[in-house]
């Protein structure tokens, strides 16, 4: 019963990676992530990517909800946020 859901564990790794990345030491964060990828007891690349995607999905859905999307429109609202962000990225 004490086993953690793999998706939850991966999302926590994603939170850890993003938290480090946001602390302005991107080189240190990149090194930490590389160490996680290559640590035989670490989560591995797949889990890191999965965790970051899980976290991204949670955050964009929260943003869509904050902007008023509800029910079936929640996913479409999240997609619209991503499309808008993509259009606004610099070339």
DSSP at 39: -
**Ranges of each domain in the chain:** 6-88
Provide the pLDDT for residue 1: 55
**What's this model's pTM, rounded to 2 decimal places?**
0.86
Helix crossing, 6-21 with 26-38: angle to 10°? Answer: 150
Provide the pLDDT for residue 69: 96
pLDDT digits (tens, 9 = 90+) for 19-68: 999 998 999 999 999 999 999 999 999 999 999 999 999 999 999 999 99
For residues 73 and 70, what is the distance between their CA atoms, to the nearest angstrom?
Answer: 5
């Amino acid at each position: 019963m004490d086993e953690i859901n793999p998706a939850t564990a991966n999302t926590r790794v994603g939170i850890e990676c993003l938290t480090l990345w946001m602390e302005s030491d991107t080189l240190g964060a990149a090194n930490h992530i590389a160490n996680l990828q290559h640590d035989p007891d670490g989560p591995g690349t797949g889990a890191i990517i999965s965790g970051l995607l899980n976290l991204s999905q949670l955050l964009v859905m929260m943003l869509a909800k904050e902007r008023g999307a509800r029910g079936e429109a929640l996913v479409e609202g999240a997609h619209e946020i991503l499309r808008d962000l993509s259009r606004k990225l610099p070339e």
